[in-house]
Amino acid sequence: MPTKIEDERVMLREAELGGLGSRIGTYVKLSGPGWLQSAITLGGGSLASSLFLGVLAGYSLLWLQPVAIVLGVIMLCAISHVTLSTGQSPFKAINEDINPVLGWGWAIATILANVVWCLPQFSLGTAAATQNLFPALNNTWGKVLVCVLLLVTAIAAVLAYDRGAKGAKAFDRILKLMVALIVFAFVGVVVKMGASGKLPWSEIAAGFIPDPSLFSEPSAKYDEALAATGEFSEFWRSQIVTMQKDVMISAAATAVGINMTFFMPFVLLRRRWGREHRGLAKFDLWTALLIPYIVATSCVVIAAGSQFNVKPQSAYVDYQERTLEGNLEKGYDGLVNARLSLELGPEAYEKLAPVQKKELKENLSDADKDMAAMLVKRDAFNLAKSLKNLTGEVFSHWIFGIGVLGMALSTIIILMTINGHVICEVIGVPHKGKPFILGALLAGLGVLGPFVWSDAAFWLAIPTSVFGFTLIPVAYLSFFLLMNSKKVLGRERPTGGFRLIWNTGMLFALAIMGTAAVYVAWNKKWGDVAFGKYALIIYGVLLVIGHFHLKTSRLEKKVAAMDNRVRRQGGGGGSRKSSDGGGRRDREDRERQGGGNRGRRSGDRGRSGGGRRRRDDKSSGSESE
């Protein structure tokens, strides 16, 4: 009776013969890994980046995340090609053929990312449930209940994944449903807004056209507000450009995280996919990952841009009385303090008493206050509240809240699943059973997020993000090298025009996303410590050490192999002569003689076949004696 994987291979072969329509239909039916990648990237980080893109630039940066995810998909396709062509663990391939420091750094950074980024996902999911969906639970015990439900749901999904083929199918369905829920929730909000006639569709369409000038210039929408700030317009201009640059680079660097690069090969190997599945894997990434990500993030940018961009009143509970939203006060004060420090000088401003600072803030011009209110970061719940009058409570709280909760829960499930794979790979055991479950539960410690994240974020988020960003360009470079390695891929290495296309895409992705990741890591600080710079330099030194260690190990293996070959060549009766006290020169003579005998045997085999081979073997033995 044919197995499931054999049935898949038959379906794929038939689809290849049936034409494009048949192939697409089969690919859609068998898709899966792309949906899992979509579930992880559609998390709290994507939501936060999309929100701030809309706050800062309105619809002008709608093009950014689609470009970033396209570059990420190119690299994930390369990872899939290498994995399915070799059928081997890329962790082992990188350690043995590229650099062991990279392989182990890749694994350690992935574990850190899984555990640390689970904390804010539980916080986000709990906030969505207690603030948007069930306000009655907005207390300590209510949050505990929500956290327990999130963790139990995630564990149930991981257990289903670990059961094998049937469990994996159920796991796929759960994640597909959650991704669909996220997308439909955000699309529903935008459709409702559009139906009210409040969205400028032509301006939105123009936002998908790349505009790199925003990397160095503020959005044109700020011109009037900047002019109103007079002599301090250059300060605010600099603030806008810095924020735009940071959020653009962060969005590019985080579209495909370090843990996604680790997860992709092992989810393919677990399904026992092979060379026949390479087209399916690439199709899956270009559809199940790319489309949901672009649709969901674009909808969040559109909603945020329509409500917050160049709208200072959106930061206030009461604009006339200048009463800020509670969660925006800290960010607003930071911008205002920077503006007043410029005017008075940093040292003079710091010496002022709190009462004096408060008076200065109150007497600040309305234009400066408005600029600070425009630029302060909002969160998903500020957006939900702002949409209430426009879309009604059902869409602003329930539909939007369900979308945010789905984002958090799907990411928690995938982070736990990835961690199970990493732990099993690191300790060298099969990716199933107790080790896999225990690895997943390690990431489940994120359940403490709502209670510890605000205090732990400083100590955990900075080093984790630096390690992750540092490894992204190096991981991309590793897979670029593997894609071009004849030793690793053999006949499966792309050739001709296909190789040129692959290399062009990968180099472009490496240049853009690698540069973005290095920039973010380099500028990360841990308090006053330039942690990112030190981490990059130290890791660079370790990579050099790892490179030479690998070369030395290879050389030692070659020397050992040559030594064994020489010993085999000097075998036979000559060993007795050596034991009787023959000198070094006699041994070297015998080894040369043995080599010559084998050379003659090889030539004789080429001329006279198997019978002659046996006679020559006997004669060579007597000659060596």
Indicate whether 321 belongs to any domain: no
Q: At what angle do helices 100-127 and 90-97 cross, to 10 degrees?
A: 140
Q: At what angle do helices 449-483 and 258-270 cross, to 10 degrees?
A: 70
**What is the pLDDT confidence band of residue 88, given thresholds at 50, 70 and 90?**
confident
Indicate whether 287 belongs to any domain: yes
Q: What is the average pLDDT across 31-60?
A: 87
The predicted structure's pLDDT at residue 156: 92
457 and 583 in a single domain? The answer is: no
**pLDDT top residue among 149 and 396:** 149
Q: Can you tell me the distance from the alpha carbon of 258 to that of 82, in angstroms, rounded to the nearest whole number?
A: 17
The predicted structure's pLDDT at residue 609: 44
Residue 71: C-alpha distances to residues 32, 76, 290, 300 (Å): 20, 9, 10, 21
- Please identify, among 492, 524, 556, the residue that sits at the C-terminal boundary of a domain: 524
Tell me whether residue 397 is exposed, middle or buried, using C-beta atoms within 10 angstroms of its C-beta: 0 to 12, 13 to 18, 19 or more: buried
Q: Can you tell me the distance from the alpha carbon of 480 to that of 482, in angstroms, rounded to the nearest whole number?
A: 5
Region of poorest pLDDT, from 350-364, 449-463, 524-538: 449-463
**What is the pLDDT confidence band of residue 489, given thresholds at 50, 70 and 90?**
confident
Residue 214: C-alpha distances to residues 70, 237, 247 (Å): 20, 12, 11
pLDDT at residue 575 is higher than 60: no
Residue 450: C-alpha distances to residues 130, 402, 456 (Å): 11, 18, 11
| Dihedral pair phi/psi, residue 208, rounded to 5° | -85, 0
pLDDT at residue 577 is higher than 50: no
- Please identify, among 493, 524, 555, the residue that sits at the C-terminal boundary of a domain: 524
Q: Can you tell me the distance from the alpha carbon of 416 to that of 255, in angstroms, rounded to the nearest whole number?
A: 19
Residue 397: C-alpha distances to residues 128, 405, 576 (Å): 9, 11, 90
Indicate whether 115 belongs to any domain: yes
Q: Can you tell me the distance from the alpha carbon of 136 to that of 118, in angstroms, rounded to the nearest whole number?
A: 25
Using alpha carbons only, give the angle 281, 284, 290 rounded to the nearest 5 degrees: 130
The predicted structure's pLDDT at residue 465: 67
Among residues 509, 79, 29, which one has the least CA distance to residue 264? Answer: 79
**What is the pLDDT confidence band of residue 607, given thresholds at 50, 70 and 90?**
very low
Q: What is the number of other CB atoms lying within 10 angstroms of the CB of residue 609?
A: 9
The predicted structure's pLDDT at residue 135: 86
The predicted structure's pLDDT at residue 417: 94
pLDDT at residue 157 is higher than 50: yes
Q: Can you tell me the distance from the alpha carbon of 101 to that of 541, in angstroms, rounded to the nearest whole number?
A: 10
The predicted structure's pLDDT at residue 547: 82
Q: What's the whole-number average pLDDT of the chain?
A: 83
Helix residue ranges per DSSP H, 484-583? 486-489, 496-522, 531-569, 574-579
Indicate whether 460 belongs to any domain: yes
The predicted structure's pLDDT at residue 170: 81
212 and 279 in a single domain? The answer is: yes
Give the single-character DSSP code of 288: I
Kindly state the tokens that stand for 198. 């409040």
The predicted structure's pLDDT at residue 566: 86
503 and 580 in a single domain? The answer is: no
pLDDT at residue 397 is higher than 70: yes
Using alpha carbons only, give the angle 3, 8, 9 rounded to the nearest 5 degrees: 100
End-to-end CA distance of the chain: 60
The predicted structure's pLDDT at residue 407: 87
Among residues 326, 350, 320, which one has the least CA distance to residue 338? Answer: 350
**What is the pLDDT confidence band of residue 580, given thresholds at 50, 70 and 90?**
very low
**HEC-encoded secondary structure of 416-451:** HHHHHHHHHHHHCCCCCHHHHHHHHHHHHHHHHHHH
Contact yes or no for 307/387 (Cβ under 8 A)? yes
Which run of H or of E encompasses 317?
A: strand 316-318
pLDDT at residue 553 is higher than 90: no
Q: What is the average pLDDT across 302-315?
A: 91
Supply the pTM of this predicted model. Answer: 0.80
pLDDT at residue 587 is higher than 80: no
**pLDDT top residue among 531 and 334:** 334
How many domains would you assign to the chain? 2
For the segment 110-153, what is each residue's pLDDT rounded down to a tens digit? 898 898 888 888 988 898 899 888 888 889 899 999 999 999 99
Q: Can you tell me the distance from the alpha carbon of 593 to that of 47, in angstroms, rounded to the nearest whole number?
A: 74
The predicted structure's pLDDT at residue 171: 84
Residue 318, classed as helix, strand or coil, is: strand
512 and 584 in a single domain? The answer is: no
For the segment 9-27, what is each residue's pLDDT rounded down to a tens digit? 888 888 888 888 888 999 9
CB burial of 445-455 (b: ≥16 within 10 Å; e: otherwise) equals bbbebbbebee
**What is the pLDDT confidence band of residue 166, given thresholds at 50, 70 and 90?**
confident
Query: In terms of C-beta distances under 8 Å and separation of at least 24 residues, what long-range contacts does 157-165 make, across chains too?
Result: 157/413, 157/417, 158/413, 158/416, 158/417, 158/420, 158/437, 158/440, 159/437, 161/417, 162/420, 162/432, 162/433, 162/436, 162/437, 165/4
245 and 390 in a single domain? The answer is: yes
619 and 490 in a single domain? The answer is: no
Residue 589 one-letter amino acid: D
Indicate whether 368 belongs to any domain: no
pLDDT over 90, % of the chain: 31
Indicate whether 252 belongs to any domain: yes
Q: Can you tell me the distance from the alpha carbon of 262 to that of 472, in angstroms, rounded to the nearest whole number?
A: 11
The predicted structure's pLDDT at residue 535: 81
175 and 289 in a single domain? The answer is: yes
**pLDDT top residue among 520 and 229:** 229
The predicted structure's pLDDT at residue 533: 83
pLDDT at residue 301 is higher than 60: yes
Indicate whether 346 belongs to any domain: no
The predicted structure's pLDDT at residue 488: 83
Distance of CA 567 to the CA centre of its chain: 50
Q: Can you tell me the distance from the alpha carbon of 186 to that of 292, in angstroms, rounded to the nearest whole number?
A: 11
- Can you give the CATH number for the domain in which 439 is found? 1.10.4160.10
74 and 219 in a single domain? The answer is: yes
466 and 588 in a single domain? The answer is: no
**What is the pLDDT confidence band of residue 625, given thresholds at 50, 70 and 90?**
very low
Using alpha carbons only, give the angle 462, 351, 359 rounded to the nearest 5 degrees: 95
- Please identify, among 524, 552, 582, the residue that sits at the C-terminal boundary of a domain: 524
Q: Can you tell me the distance from the alpha carbon of 449 to that of 119, in angstroms, rounded to the nearest whole number?
A: 4
Could you give the dihedral angle defined by the CA atoms of residues 525, 47, 390 and 139, in that order, rounded to the nearest 10 degrees? -80
The predicted structure's pLDDT at residue 2: 62
Query: If you average pLDDT over each of 2-16, 36-50, 336-350, 585-599, which comes out highest?
Result: 336-350
195 and 63 in a single domain? The answer is: yes
pLDDT at residue 463 is higher than 60: yes
Half-sphere exposure of 69 (CA within 13 A, CB side): 26
222 and 300 in a single domain? The answer is: yes
Residue 605 domain boundaries: 574-624
pLDDT at residue 487 is higher than 70: yes
For the segment 56-81, what is each residue's pLDDT rounded down to a tens digit? 999 999 999 999 899 889 999 999 99
Q: What is the average pLDDT across 507-531?
A: 79
Q: Can you tell me the distance from the alpha carbon of 318 to that of 391, in angstroms, rounded to the nearest whole number?
A: 21
Q: Which segments within 54-195 are labelled E, that is strand? A: none
CB burial of 272-290 (b: ≥16 within 10 Å; e: otherwise) equals ebbebbbbbbbbbbbbbbb
Kindly state the tokens that stand for 78. 């390369």
Region of poorest pLDDT, from 158-162, 342-346, 523-527, 566-570: 523-527
C-alpha gyration radius of the chain? 31
Residue 549: C-alpha distances to residues 103, 106, 428, 555 (Å): 14, 18, 22, 10
582 and 481 in a single domain? The answer is: no
Indicate whether 10 belongs to any domain: no
